[in-house]
Amino acid sequence: MAQVLEFRLPDLGEGLTEALIVRWLVEVGEVVAVDQPVVEVETAKAMVDVPCPYGGVVTARFGEEGTELPVGSPLVTVAVGSPAHLDPVGDAAEGSGNVLVGYGTSEAPARRRRVRQDQTAPAAPVALDDTGVRAPARVDGPVPVISPLVRRLARENGLDLRELAGSGPNGLILRADVEQALHADATRPGPSAPTAAPEPAAHPTATPAEGVRVPLKGIRGVVADKLSRSRREIPDATCWVDADATELMRTRVLMNGAGSPKISLLALLARICAAALARYPELNSTVDLEAREIVRLDRVHLGFAAQTERGLVVPVVRDAHTRNAESLSAEIARLTEAARTGTLTPAELTGGTFTLNNYGVFGVDGSTPILNHPEAAMLGVGRIVPKPWVHDGELAVRQVVQLSFTFDHRVCDGGTAGGFLRYVADCVEQPAVLLRTL
């Protein structure tokens, strides 16, 4: 007889507390193999296909596309066993044996139940108050809440979770339940007061502005938290300089001659950054506040800002200091394509030690960016445009770029930051400088 096993949404490796269901990859009644992806979810870091460790027939799915599920909540149930209708998966009932973060398949599942596809459990009656809003019954025993974010939201607003009826699987209380309860409390009319004859207002009453509320979640929420922490903890400073990039552009044209692998401008700038960090290693560091120590890092993992439809992401080129321009260009191209398609892994979005930010693609000249916590420095590159410039003692039209450098003032003083930026500008103006210092 088939046994129904429940697969719960695992921790996908970044300690995340929830994920957004983007697309179901299987239907109820479909036969799945061991470790076959069953759903595509969006975490705060990337898009991830979640594989199910069991093989059998999908008997239930939890959560519609576009809804958010907390880590640990039921995702799918799978009927496994040896009946005839499960022959396509053979002995898959034992599971893959693979261990996902936060979900071990080698252990018995936390909860098992039998499900018949032609039978649906009757929905529990829902009481409504006189305003048409669901009136939840008080819950006895442990409150069915997984997400610590939900608990904090309720605590900060003085909301008793025991008075809520969760809309999630098995009565699980979701963030949407808390927000709905808070909205209902805010809009519920208070006790009526005795009416009195209206008095003419001395001044006209202004109508408060109302707008659209956009939840800070997913990538947008993570970016907001990280930038707020950076501004709160890091005393940053910015310096900038204009540079003549004519020779750098000419060098790139020569390097991309017939038959040669194409090298991007960003790759050349990344190569210059790696060389500059070798001369000024204190800028490839982080600050340990608890130990009150500056940690100088021995590897350059270079992040670069990439704007996508899902928001700003910063893919990381590992060991950038060991790569030549061709290798950097190929890796940047690969990571950029993965960012656009939403297939970057959490490992490709973390661990950076320095960031290169090319905001010139937006048609702007300068910026004072916020550091990518916990990094200590970031180089910003504006657009490269023809401008009047004094070259060899004469006025000429040259390709000019503004370079800005933001740094953590705790790791160095202005002399070090200025030296770094000047070296970068010299390499941009005379690429041969880079060859002399390698």
Structure tokens at 166: 């969760």
Asked whether the predicted pLDDT for residue 15 surpasses 80, the reply is no
Asked whether the predicted pLDDT for residue 84 surpasses 80, the reply is no
Report the pLDDT value the prediction gives residue 11, as an integer from 0 to 100.
Answer: 74
Q: How do residues 235-294 score in pLDDT, each as one tens digit?
A: 999 999 999 999 999 999 999 987 778 899 999 999 999 999 999 999 999 999 999 999
Catalytic residue among 373, 392, 409, 426: 409
What's this model's pTM, rounded to 2 decimal places? 0.60
Note whether 421 and 280 are within 8 A (CB).
no
Asked whether the predicted pLDDT for residue 133 surpasses 50, the reply is no
Note whether 115 and 77 are within 8 A (CB).
yes
Q: 101-110, 132-141, 221-230 — which is least confidently predicted? A: 101-110
Catalytic residue among 118, 203, 413, 426: 413
Q: How confident is the model at residue 432 (pLDDT cuts 50, 70, 90)?
A: confident
d(CA 337, CA 67) in angstroms, rounded, equals 26
Domains of the chain by start residue, with CATH: 3-104 (2.40.50.100), 148-185 (4.10.320.10), 234-437 (3.30.559.10)
Q: How confident is the model at residue 102 (pLDDT cuts 50, 70, 90)?
A: very low
Structure tokens at 260: 């040669």
Report the pLDDT value the prediction gives residue 176, as an integer from 0 to 100.
Answer: 76
Report the pLDDT value the prediction gives residue 309, as an integer from 0 to 100.
Answer: 79
Comparing 149 with 336, which gets the higher pLDDT?
336
Report the pLDDT value the prediction gives residue 162, as an integer from 0 to 100.
Answer: 78
Note whether 238 and 366 are within 8 A (CB).
no
391 classed as catalytic: no
